Chains A and B, each alone.
Chain A
Amino acid sequence: MTMTATATVAETKYPKSDAEDVRTKFSARDVSVFYGEKQALFDVALDVPRHQVTALIGPSGCGKSTFLRCLNRMNDTIPICRVTGDIRLDDNNIYAPDIDVVYLRARVGMVFQKPNPFPKSIFENIAYGPRIHGIATDKNDLDKIVQTSLEKAGLWNEVKDRLGEPGTGLSGGQQQRLCIARAIAVQPEVILMDEPCSALDPIATAKIEELIDELRSNYTIVIVTHNMQQAARVSQQTAFFHLGYLVEHSTTEQIFTNPDDQRTQDYITGRFG
């Protein structure tokens, strides 16, 4: 199956309005994911609008994290994982053979469930990405990038006097913001967040949610969350996954007030999940 063939099929299947086309950052069509023999995602089609927060919700094992990890090809690191279908970032198929994964991941940053700072200093944590990508040419540039990234992540005031200390010595919430700052430092277009608050206490969670809302103006954000209040608070778009299928995707307001599908209704009212 060639790229063009997929595209045509996709377009006939899911006609897009012109307005949508301009604003769409990620566009997924017919995405299926297999772990060995087991299929984890079934023909998912989802458009992620630019400069908005899209929340992926659903019960455990529904495939929302799997889908998120398709967006920066993190699933490539799992040997038995196979992805079919078509995912476009600004109309470029990210699974095309000429796409460089390293370049893709520089454009699509990621924040993980458990804060995972490098076992290095706070400064090095932020500086690592810009350094390997050659974004910063000298020490001044690097200092500037580190400062702005930490400022954007709302961490600068807390750590500016101890940039040389290990990133692993920070509190959980600070570590997660450090990871967000690390992702921002590479100046990505999209930030993927895989349950970024599930390991944090409510105060740290509130800080991160606030941060996500601020980041929206500059970045497209896709966030996986278990917490429906969180999805309602931070996102503009919500997609509900269930058993590997994308059940429903609409504006957050629509999903939480007037869902089309009975399963969505049941899930958001807490009847299962």
Chain B
Amino acid sequence: MSETIASDTFALTDISTQKEATAEAVRQSLKKRYSAERRFRFYGVMALVFAFLMLVVLFATIFSNGYSAFVQTMIRIDVKLDAETIDPKGTRDPAVLLRAGYGLLIKQSLRETFPEVRSRRDKKKLYGLVSQLGANDALSDLVLQNPVVIGKTVSIWVPASDDVDMLVKGHISRDVPEKERRVSNKEIAWIDTIKAQDRLKTQFNTNFFTAGDSREPEMAGVWGAAMGSLLTLAVTLLLSFPLGVSAAVYLEESAPKNRWTQIIEVNINNLAAVPSIVFGLLGLAVLLNFMGMPRSAPVVGGIVLALMTLPTVIIAGRAALTSVPPSIREAALGVGASRVQTIFHHVLPLAMPGILTGSIIGMARALGETAPLLMIGMVAFIADIPQGFTDPATVLPVQVYLWADSPERAFVEKTSAAIIVLLVFLVTMNALAVWLRQKFENRW
């Protein structure tokens, strides 16, 4: 009897010690689990901080390099608008006025401001203070708008040349020995004189936003490239969105699930991963060489980018369509809607936010694409602003590439400024995506 009791107590203590041991083990492992959790969170935060820092560095670099491109140094010169030089016959014909020799007048004005400059070399340097092209344009604009000024002396602000601009903005340091400096001591002296006479100012660079590309950095603008980007993207959107959505709807809703559709599906996924330059080669071979479409034209660029964007749009569209709950389809079919009615009245509107997000991401990628456009000639130097889909054009990222490749110091800030413009475009597009998404989702 006593033996059984003893064994029972033994069993009891055994169980309770076991329980304690288990509890202890759990406590131990809890500690470990919590520290693992903390570690994991720490890694996540670190990754975020790192990514954020990189982003800050990137943006800081771009903005610090680029913001100065949004202002331009101007020099005021007094020009005697000699009627003999501008319009010797007195016809006031705009064609004559446009092509008059304003350069001579500007040079004369500069000579009069600095009469002590005698030697040919010095004169040439003196003339180089102002942007010949910019001053010419400014004068011809003035005369064309108001021909009565001919024969009078006008005081006019004209853009300074890129070297002067760089010096004023501090990108060319005065501390560097003269030999290694692009601006000589003499030129610096002239600039200081001009400044002392209150003939030098910096102002907002509207030219940068309204002009096309130029070989002269101070005259180069981003509008030609922006226009090219807009035209190209318009073609891309008009092609890839309807085609992509129709393909997605067909594949998701109507296509029989057999080997052929499987092959198509695999190929669409593969196409999404094809390097973009391959699409450029396709455009070169088929669109330019075989079909004889114009070189450097937004329409060709748009088609090539549309081919590149299509897989993205189709994949996003299909994902969005699949995510529409089947209960909605059943509900529509249940009240007797046909297949097409079900798709267009119910499924597609519900999938729209997803489709739009996917498409705009695709468009944003197309906006930043350079490689395929190089192949179809959109990398050419184009000074004119494209007016239509077949005009020669370039796009923003290619403009960035072209300017980054230019040797002039002044193009460094232009490059960064063009990147800023490109980023603004991208942010605008993403904002549009968010807005569209919200708008469509607000319809419950």
Q: Give the residues from 129 to 172 in chain A that come closer than 8 angstroms, CB to CB, to chain B.
A: 129, 132-133, 166, 168-169
In the assembled complex, B119 has its CB within 8 A of some CB on chain A:
no
Question: What residues on A are CB-neighbors of B332 within 8 Å?
Answer: 118, 128
A106 interface neighbour in B257, B336, B345, B346, Cβ under 8 Å: B336
Q: Give the residues from 314 to 370 in chain B that come closer than 8 angstroms, CB to CB, to chain A.
A: 325, 327-338, 341, 345-346, 350
In the assembled complex, A51 has its CB within 8 A of some CB on chain B:
no
**For the side of the interface on B, what is the size category?**
20 to 34
Known: A79-B257, A118-B332, A119-B328. A166 touches B337 (CB 8 A): no
In the assembled complex, B256 has its CB within 8 A of some CB on chain A:
yes
* Complex CA distance for A111 and B46, rounded to whole angstroms: 52
* Complex CA distance for A120 and B349, rounded to whole angstroms: 11
* Complex CA distance for A116 and B332, rounded to whole angstroms: 10
B334 interface neighbour in A103, A110, A169, Cβ under 8 Å: A110
Q: For residue A214, give the distance in angstroms from its CB to the closest CB of chain B.
A: 21
In the assembled complex, B89 has its CB within 8 A of some CB on chain A:
no
Number of A-B contacts (CB under 8 A): 69
Determine if B336 and A118 form an interchain contact, defined as CB atoms under 8 angstroms apart.
Answer: no
* One of A39-47, A178-186, A205-213 contacting the partner: A178-186
A129 interface neighbour in B329, B336, B338, Cβ under 8 Å: B336
Determine if A112 and B444 form an interchain contact, defined as CB atoms under 8 angstroms apart.
Answer: no
Question: What residues on B are CB-neighbors of A133 within 8 Å?
Answer: 336
Determine if A118 and B331 form an interchain contact, defined as CB atoms under 8 angstroms apart.
Answer: yes
* Complex CA distance for A116 and B338, rounded to whole angstroms: 18
Known: A118-B346, A119-B350, A120-B444. A186 touches B336 (CB 8 A): yes
B443 nearest CB neighbor, chain A only? A119
Question: What residues on A are CB-neighbors of B443 within 8 Å?
Answer: 119-120
Determine if B336 and A132 form an interchain contact, defined as CB atoms under 8 angstroms apart.
Answer: yes
In the assembled complex, A85 has its CB within 8 A of some CB on chain B:
no
Question: What residues on B are CB-neighbors of A72 within 8 Å?
Answer: 334
Question: What residues on A are CB-neighbors of B329 within 8 Å?
Answer: 77
A102 interface neighbour in B256, B331, B338, B444, Cβ under 8 Å: B338
Q: For residue B195, give the distance in angstroms from its CB to the closest CB of chain A.
A: 67
In the assembled complex, A105 has its CB within 8 A of some CB on chain B:
yes
Question: What residues on A are CB-neighbors of B333 within 8 Å?
Answer: 74, 77, 105
Determine if A74 and B334 form an interchain contact, defined as CB atoms under 8 angstroms apart.
Answer: yes
In the assembled complex, A109 has its CB within 8 A of some CB on chain B:
yes
Determine if A166 and B334 form an interchain contact, defined as CB atoms under 8 angstroms apart.
Answer: no
* Complex CA distance for A80 and B334, rounded to whole angstroms: 20
Q: For residue A169, give the distance in angstroms from its CB to the closest CB of chain B.
A: 8
A107 nearest CB neighbor, chain B only? B336
Most A C-beta atoms less than 10 A away, residue of B327, B334, B338:
B334
* Complex CA distance for A111 and B327, rounded to whole angstroms: 11
In the assembled complex, A114 has its CB within 8 A of some CB on chain B:
yes
In the assembled complex, A117 has its CB within 8 A of some CB on chain B:
yes
What 1/0 flags go to B229-268 for Cβ under 8 Å of A? 0000000000000000000000000001100000000000
Question: 10 interchain pairs (CB within 8 A)?
Answer: A74-B334, A102-B336, A102-B338, A105-B336, A116-B325, A120-B444, A128-B332, A169-B444, A183-B335, A185-B335
Extra contacts, 10 of them, besides A105-B334, A183-B334, A186-B336 (Cβ < 8 A), are A79-B256, A106-B336, A110-B334, A119-B350, A120-B443, A120-B444, A132-B341, A179-B331, A182-B331, A186-B335
Residues of A bordering B, CB below 8 Å: 72, 74, 77, 79, 102-103, 105-106, 109-112, 114, 116-120, 128-129, 132-133, 166, 168-169, 179, 182-183, 185-186
